[in-house]
Chain A
Amino acid sequence: DSGVTQTPKHLITATGQRVTLRCSPRSGDLSVYWYQQSLDQGLQFLIQYYNGEERAKGNILERFSAQQFPDLHSELNLSSLELGDSALYFCASSVGAGGFEQYFGPGTRLTVT
């Protein structure tokens, strides 16, 4: 158990809908990272927040947005969902901004039908 929690574990929704994925980092970690992993694909870095502020941005679509709250938990919002958005979404956390060692959560499996 990495100490990073993600909810929900599974999510099934229809195209065009909007969903919110939630992540709670390990106690003491200030950075949260979001990743997307499509079937048989590698991990794609989406975005990083450090202590409430956006720190780094990867291949995140404009339909996706994220935020980190004062209690350091983070939410990833996915809107206007398409079939291709079906994937595993992982959250990771680290103590500092450099992400020297990241601890990954169990992931949320999103299925768009």
Chain B
Amino acid sequence: KNQVEQSPQSLIILEGKNCTLQCNYTVSPFSNLRWYKQDTGRGPVSLTIMTFSENTKSNGRYTATLDADTKQSSLHITASQLSDSASYICVVSGDDYKLSFGAGTTVTVRA
């Protein structure tokens, strides 16, 4: 069964600090991995999408890494802002058009 596991489940950081979220997956064969940001009660918004040949991709203060050999990805948030408070979801796609979603990491940024 294809699985996507995210850690930690939640974290609290001070404004201006950095944090890293983890995503481990077992989806095979692998097509691409995406990170989404979801504000409470809103639809997810794509942050990054990476295929198996990409190791890192940035979107502003968000940097995602991918190690397709170990089936691990991370999302690094630099110089966090209050607006970064949200749920971050890792989504892995196989080659069958089906998506496997992680449960998400809830990030709370405090002033």
Contacts and interface: CB of A to CB of B under 8 A. Distances in A.
Interface of A: 2, 4, 41-45, 48, 55-56, 58, 88, 90, 92, 97-107, 109
B2 to A, nearest CB: 11
A43 B98 contact: no
Interface of B: 31-32, 34, 41-46, 49, 89, 93, 96-99, 101-104
Given A42-B103, A43-B89, A104 B43 contact: yes
Contacts, number: 51
A2 B43 contact: yes
Contacts of B101: 42-45
A106 B97 contact: no
Given A106-B42, A109-B41, 20 more contacts: A2-B43, A2-B45, A42-B89, A42-B101, A42-B104, A43-B44, A43-B89, A43-B101, A44-B101, A45-B98, A45-B101, A88-B41, A90-B44, A97-B97, A98-B93, A101-B49, A104-B43, A104-B44, A104-B45, A105-B43
